[in-house]
Amino acid sequence: MLRTTLIALLFLISTHSFAQFIVKGKVTDSETGDPIPFASVILKGTTTGISTDFEGYYQIEARSLTDSISAAYLGYISASKLLQNVAEQTVNFQLKPSDFEMEAFVFEAGENPAFEIIRRAVDRKKDFDKRSLSAYETKNYTKIEIDIDHVSEEFTQRKTVQKVTAVLDSIQQLTNDEGEKILPVFFSETLSKFYYRNNPELKKEIVEKSKITGVGITDGSTTSQITGSAFQEYNFYKNWLNIVEKEFVSPIADGWKNFYDYDLMDSVLVGKDSCYILQVYPLREQDLAFSGTIWINKETYALKQVDLSIPKEVNLNFIERIKIQQELVPTSAGPLIPSKSRVQIKIGQVTPKTAGFLAKFYTSADSIRVGEPKPTSFFNQAVTLKEDYNIADEEFWAANRQDPLSQEELAVLQMVDTLKRIPIVRFFSEGLKFFGTGYLNVGKADIGPWPGFFNYNNIEGVRLGMGGRTSLKFSNKWEIKAYGAYGFKDEKFKYSTQVTRILDRFHWTTLSLSAQKEIDQVGLEIAELQDNSIFLAASRFGTLRRPFFNTNQKLEFQREFFKGFLFFSNFKLSQFDPLFDFYYLEKGTGEYRSDFETTEAKVGLRYGRDEIIIINDNERSSFGPSKWPILQATYAKGFQWLGGDINYSKLTFYLYQRLNMGMLGVSRYELDAGKIFGEVPYPILKNHLGNETLFYTSAAFNTMNFNEFASDQYASLRYRHFFEGFLLNKIPLVKKLKWRAVANANVLFGSVSQKNVANSPTVDPYGNPLETFGRLDPKTPYVELGYGIENIFKFFRIDFFHRITYLDHTDAKPFAVKISGQIIL
């Protein structure tokens, strides 16, 4: 016992003698205030030093002190500070970012030693990729902050801005190290459980608690679903990472040598693991690739840490910097899980008279468990909210945060709460939301959509309209929509109403009843173009093509049986009343008729294996698929014995997929096929969508005229490819413009049976010629090829289309130029 006590006493004495001085502190980014992990802090003139942890903290224990201490990290200007001759002191560093420029590489004879390290890391990817686990779950804490920065002098001099700053002068102001004011506008915290299973690959996040404060944020349920960890996942063991809708190649991708060069900088002890430090450089400065530092375990060749940035030279718009820092820990089964991730996205000023934005995302994971996969039914909805997700006081958050809020973050919360109460801020934020969504919230209802408030065309003249819908505040089980419009030329009232009962929000199940009386156009029906709002609006101004009054009543039902698998059906009564010279020959009697009624029942199936769906208030919203295609099949039957005038059947098939082509860019294709059985008037046929407007749309054949072709059996392929910067980045002068090449190929096979041709007379009962429809030769497809440039002045796109076949048609356009506007990164 005495021996043990003496050994302990000697150990304490020796430890104290080896650590007479303690220097500790934090290293942060001077512009953003965020911690800089993995920075080197060293006593000047010695080899005594340490790296900062993920939160930027360090602590050095030394027997003696020098006169100063320095902090350094790649991409930042090194800094030094004087030390005091005291036993314990705190020294914080605020490092300024530097404009990093890649230096020329000079290697001696032989292979770059970093290549062998990368080669072994790539060979062992399957051992450490978390996707190789059959299932895992984590408890996650996520926080997001969005600030306005780079506030220009012209911006601050605006009267509306001065009204805001006058109020904010009464509270603590946040500034960066250069004295520029930072204006926080959003802050969120989320506690959630994240679940993953393989074969099939499925993910689910249950948001347990969420606290959101932000300017213009009134919808907590929708926002809470997208501020969790499910949308903040970055796995560098994938070959390609999707960031801001762009595909970036990982530094340890299978084809790493085509994109990167490396420097072996040093080896260092990270925790208990000895690691190689490798500097990463993109081979071409405008490629969608990273630069920065990665740490690779010397024994296992697993990733230990990453600190990577996307350089400003990359072909992105508005974004000045994207920075990703990540710390990985092994699971009990071996594969790695990110324990902490930090992402910064800095958006520059669009014009010199505006401001920039800075978005910060932080996620930490603990309670990592590897176990048996949950049943597939558990993953039916990608993100769900617990009933009391938004009910928690500050004591709860203080006890359950995995990381406490800093003083800067507490100041952010205070400022955002103050900002959102300022009347002028509320006015502009609500106005921006109204413009973006089309609806303005008023109590328990939303007024809109604003594009339908005014219209002008040759049938209605000036048309004024107004509509609305109930919101989640009204009910989470019932949704009511209504819209009315009046044309001052035709002096007729149009309307649409719909009542929806939400029967099950988990297995999304709804029952709807609707009624409508509206002017529509053959081949340009509103129901088919709702997702192309600009094209729809352009096609309904001016001269309407083959207009008709569409009066219908419809009963709809849909249910999602399991994740991605949706069943839908409807029963519809419709009446077609033409507002143009139209006749068809009635089957059996051979008499001329101009109007008809249909009674139609439809059933359909839709499957998107990895499609991400969230419940946006009382509607489903899709974030699209990431890898697998979306398939849809429908069957419709028209009944004459239930009050309709025509018997027919329709069978359709649709497939959509997004393809990552690696360094070549991204492709999207749509396959559409169908067949109509029975003798029908041509408005019931598939009237293929042409485009006589100046605007480009991916939904149409852009050199085809409106109503030029119709089919009762058809198959089409619309293929679009986005080269990103692949081609134009290699042209010295053009690459500075950051233009991006695009390509299109549209192919259509179709035909019309002779019985449906006979149903469409070429003259009316009085012998006057009638407009009918064009027919495709089943052996000759309609083909158009296109190419173009997007990202012109960061907003505009121009496409050039060549019509390859059917050039002998009247008014055929062998060449067309289409323009469009888009906000892309």
Instruction: Name the nearest CA neighbour of 144 among 232, 221, 33.
Output: 232
List, in sequence order, every beta strand (DSSP E) within 85-217.
88-90, 93-95, 135-149, 174-175, 181-197, 202-214
Q: Tokens for 356?
A: 């920039």
Domain match, 336 and 430 both = yes
* pLDDT tier, 648 (very low <50, low <70, confident <90, very high otherwise): very high
pLDDT above 70 (res 604): yes
Phi, psi of 5 (to 5 degrees): -65, -40
Q: What is residue 709's DSSP assignment?
A: B
Print the SS3 string covering 444-473: CEEECCHHHCEEEECCCEEEEEEEEEECCC
pLDDT exceeds 50 at position 511: yes
Alpha-carbon distance of 719 to 701, in angstroms, equals: 11
Residue 608 has pLDDT above 50, yes or no: yes
H helical segments located in 68-219: 113-123, 125-128, 153-156, 159-168
Question: How many domains does the chain fold into?
Answer: 3
> How far apart are alpha carbons 204 and 273 in whole angstroms?
32
Q: From CA 482, how far away is CA 624, in angstroms rounded?
A: 28
Q: Is pLDDT at 8 greater than 90 in this prediction?
A: no
| Residue 12 pLDDT class (50, 70, 90 cuts) | very low
Alpha-carbon separation of residue 378 from 8, 385, 581, 718, 789 (angstroms): 54, 14, 56, 35, 44
The pair of structure tokens assigned to 647 is 């018997």
* Range with top average pLDDT, 9-23, 197-211, 324-338: 324-338
pTM of the model as a whole: 0.76
pLDDT of residue 221: 62
Indicate if the pLDDT at residue 101 is higher than 50: no
CATH number, domain at 19?
2.60.40.1120
More confident residue, 247 or 298: 298
Task: Identify the CA nearest to 22 among candidates 55, 54, 69, 56.
Answer: 69
Same domain, 327 and 230: yes
pLDDT at 401: 83
DSSP state of 729: G
> Are 251 and 228 part of one and the same domain?
no
Q: Is residue 627 part of a domain?
A: no
Q: How many CA atoms lie within 13 A of 349 on its CB side?
A: 12
Say yes or no: 76 and 159 in one domain.
no
- Rounded CA-CA distance 356/321 in Å is 12
Nearest to 206 by CA among 18, 381, 411, 43: 381
- Helix or strand or coil: residue 476? coil
Cross-strand bridge partners of residue 506:
none
Answer whether residue 35 is part of any domain. yes
Q: What would the two tokens of residue 633 be?
A: 């099949």
Give per-residue pLDDT as tens, 148-157: 776 555 556 6
- Among 158-167, 407-416, 596-605, name the most confident range: 596-605
Last residue within a domain, chosen from 418, 437, 456? 437
pLDDT at position 14: 42
Residue 446 in domain: no
Lookup: tokens for 258: 């085509």
Nearest in space to 644 (alpha carbons), one of 694, 703, 595: 595
Annotate 738-782 with DSSP letters as a single string.
T-EEEEEEEEEEEE--HHHHHTS-SB-TTS-B----B---TTS-E
Summarize the confidence of residues 303-332 as an average pLDDT.
Answer: 85
Burial class (CB in 10 A: 0-12, 13-18, 19+), 637: middle
Q: What is the Cα–Cα distance from 55 to 34, expressed in whole angstroms?
A: 9
Lowest mean pLDDT among 299-303, 480-484, 641-645, 726-730: 726-730
SS3 annotation, 487-546: ECCCCEEEEEEEEEEEEECCCCEEEEEEEEEEEEECCCCHHHCCCCHHHHHHHCCECCCC
In angstroms, the Cα distances linking 11 to 6, 18, 170, 557 are 8, 10, 55, 76
Q: For residue 285, give its domain range.
A: 245-310
Domain boundary among 310, 325, 355: 310
d(CA 677, CA 416): 61
Residue 95 pLDDT > 80: yes
Residues 288 and 404 in one domain: no
Of 165, 162, 164, 183, nearest to 174 (Cα)?
A: 183
* pLDDT score recorded for residue 462: 94
pLDDT of residue 165: 60
Query: Could you tell me which residue, 341 or 810, shows the higher pLDDT?
Result: 341
Does residue 676 lie in a domain region? Answer: no
Pairing status of strand 630-638 against strand 648-660? antiparallel
Is pLDDT of 4 > 60? Answer: no
More confident residue, 495 or 772: 495
Integer angstrom CA distances of residue 300 from 117, 123, 238, 277, 329: 11, 11, 18, 14, 13
Residue 3 has pLDDT above 60, yes or no: no
Q: Are residue 340 and residue 225 in the same domain, yes or no? A: yes
C-alpha dihedral sign at 526, 529, 534, 535: negative
DSSP string, 579-607: SSS--EEPTTT--EES-EEEEEEEEEEEE
d(CA 144, CA 149): 16
For residue 449, is the peptide bond before it cis, meaning its omega torsion is within 30 degrees of 0? Answer: yes
Alpha-carbon distance of 682 to 386, in angstroms, equals: 51
Per-residue pLDDT, 162: 62
Region 306-316: what's the mean pLDDT? 81
303 and 346 inside one domain: no
* Residue 93 pLDDT greater than 70, yes or no: yes
The answer on 256 and 339 residing in a single domain is no
Q: Output the pLDDT for position 418.
A: 72
Asked if 746 and 787 touch (Cβ cutoff 8 Å), the reply is: no
How many angstroms separate the CA atoms of 562 and 381, rounded?
9
What pLDDT score does 84 carry? 87
Residues 710-745: b if buried by 16+ CB within 10 A, e if exposed: bbbbbbbbbbbbbbbbbbbbeeeeebeebbbbbbbb
Q: Which of 75, 95, 115 is the last residue of a domain?
A: 95
Indicate the SS3 state at residue 386. coil
pLDDT attached to residue 67:
87
The band of 29, judged by pLDDT with boundaries at 50, 70 and 90, is confident
Between 606 and 359, the more confident residue is 606
200 cis-preceded (ω within 30 degrees of 0): yes
pLDDT of residue 481: 94
- Which of the residue ranges 82-86, 172-176, 413-417, 728-732 has the most confident prediction, judged by mean pLDDT? 82-86
Asked if residue 219 and residue 343 are part of one domain, the reply reads yes
Question: What is the rounded CA–CA span in Å between residue 528 and residue 30?
Answer: 52
Predicted local confidence at residue 66, as pLDDT: 85
Evaluate if residue 104 carries a pLDDT over 90: no
What DSSP element (H or E) covers 419? helix 407-419
Kindly state whether residue 432 falls inside one of the protein's structural domains: yes
Residue 757, pLDDT above cutoff 50: yes
Confidence check: pLDDT of 477 > 60 = yes
> For the residues 258-283, what does the mean pLDDT come to?
87
Say if 731 falls within a structural domain.
Answer: no
Q: Are residues 306 and 333 in the same domain?
A: no
Per-residue pLDDT at 353: 64
Q: Answer whether residue 171 shows pLDDT above 50.
A: no
Rounded to an integer, the average pLDDT of 561-586 is 91
Judge whether 290 and 280 are in contact, CB under 8 Å.
yes
- pLDDT for 103 equals 43
Comparing 48 with 190, which gets the higher pLDDT? 190
Residue at 249 is within a domain: yes
pLDDT tens-digit profile of 339-383?
889 888 888 766 666 667 888 888 988 888 998 888 888 887 788
Helix (H) or strand (E) holding 65: none
Note the pLDDT of residue 11: 37
Beta bridge partners of 617: none
Would residue 506 count as lying in a domain?
A: no
In the chain, % of residues over pLDDT 90: 32
* Gap between the Cα atoms of 558 and 561, Å rounded: 10
How many of the other CB atoms lie within 10 Å of CB of 642?
12
Residue given tokens 């019931």 in the structure block: 684
Instruction: Judge whether residue 41 has pLDDT over 60.
Output: yes
Average pLDDT over residues 644-665: 89
Q: Which helix (H) or strand (E) holds 109?
A: none
Distance of alpha carbon 581 from the chain centroid: 46
Task: Write down the pLDDT at residue 49.
Answer: 81
Across the range 216-225, mean pLDDT stands at 64
pLDDT by residue (tens digit) across 518-547? 999 998 888 777 766 667 777 788 889 899
**H helices within 648-704, ranges in order?**
none
Both 335 and 427 in one domain: the answer is yes
Does the pLDDT of residue 711 top 90, yes or no? yes
Q: Which residues pair with 660 in a beta bridge?
A: 666
| Residue position matching structure tokens 């359950």 | 400
Amino acid code (one letter) for 306: V
Residue 318 confidence (pLDDT): 74
CB-CB contact of 551 with 575 (8 Å): yes
Q: Are 144 and 186 in contact (CB under 8 A)?
A: yes
Identify which of 378, 382, 335, 392 has the alpha carbon closest to the alpha carbon of residue 191. Answer: 392
- Among 701, 684, 788, 686, which Cα is nearest to 746's? 701
How many C-beta atoms lie closer than 10 Å to residue 417's C-beta? 14
- Report CA 134 to chain centroid distance, whole Å: 27
Q: Mean of the pLDDT values across residues 107-122? A: 81
Burial label, 791 (beta-carbon count in 10 A; 0-12, 13-18, 19+): buried
**% of the chain with per-residue pLDDT over 70:** 88
Pair 226, 80 in one domain: no
